[in-house]
């Protein structure tokens, strides 16, 4: 019976990976709308906005992969459910970013399969340390994403209110995910682990900006 559940979980994880990587991203909620009317962007501004949104698209794909990897090896059903619900919200974020990339006449990162595979492996490793460590990993990930989004909100062209509305909604929801993980029992991560997470994210985001 246990081997059957393990096989079912592995098949579900493979299905989620294929959908995330190769199916068009479809959000279950509408794309956030801006409070202010968008302004025309110059070609240079459009390229800058597209590069930033490509980074955010990659980040959302990686977040899904992290949570899928963690959910696969979660010890408790409650932790698994929390992770899969967070992954669903990241799926909406992915769809919003992909829609905005299309509007900006840009493509996602060509290295997304690599980022997904690496992030899935990291998530699985985090889960092996136990649910409290895994949930602490979620909380720290979301704190770092919040700071990353703050930087991107500052860097967006002033008139790009469409991208800004998406990032602001994403930021608010990432904060909720982090707090939920902490309330569920997430343990603070050691400083060296936090620093390693920042360096790994910097490599990914720096590469996705261009490729």
Sequential pLDDT tens for the chain (211 residues): 444 445 455 555 555 555 555 556 677 889 999 988 888 899 999 999 999 999 999 999 998 899 999 999 999 999 999 999 888 888 899 999 999 999 999 999 999 999 989 999 999 999 999 999 999 999 999 999 999 999 999 999 989 999 999 999 999 999 999 999 999 999 988 888 889 888 988 898 889 988 8
End-to-end CA distance of the chain: 45
Could you give the domains of the chain?
48-208 (1.20.1260.10)
- Residue-wise pLDDT for 110-162, tens only, equals 999 999 899 999 999 999 999 999 999 999 999 999 999 999 999 999 899 99
For residue 144, what pLDDT is reported?
Answer: 92
CA dist 146 and 149 (Å) reads 5
Q: Do you know the residue count of the chain?
A: 211
Q: State pTM to two decimals.
A: 0.86
């Amino acid at each position: 019976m246990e081997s059957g559940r393990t096989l079912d979980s592995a098949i579900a994880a493979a299905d989620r990976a294929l959908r995330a990587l190769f199916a068009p991203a479809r959000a279950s909620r509408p794309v956030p709308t801006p409070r202010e009317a968008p302004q025309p962007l110059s070609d240079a501004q459009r390229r800058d906005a597209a590069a930033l949104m490509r980074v955010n698209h990659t980040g959302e794909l990686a977040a899904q992969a992290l949570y899928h990897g963690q959910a696969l090896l979660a010890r408790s059903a409650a932790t698994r459910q929390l992770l899969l619900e967070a992954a669903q919200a990241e799926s909406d974020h992915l769809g919003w970013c992909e829609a905005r990339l299309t509007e900006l006449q840009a493509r996602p990162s060509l290295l997304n399969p690599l980022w997904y595979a690496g992030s899935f492996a990291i998530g699985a490793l985090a889960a092996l340390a136990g649910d409290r460590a895994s949930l602490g990993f979620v909380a720290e990930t979301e704190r770092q994403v919040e700071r990353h989004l703050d930087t991107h909100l500052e860097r967006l062209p002033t008139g790009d209110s469409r991208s800004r509305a998406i990032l602001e909604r994403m930021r608010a929801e990432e904060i909720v995910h982090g707090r939920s993980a902490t309330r569920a029992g997430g343990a603070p991560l050691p400083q060296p682990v936090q620093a390693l997470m920042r360096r790994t994210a910097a490599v990914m985001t720096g590469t996705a900006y261009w490729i």
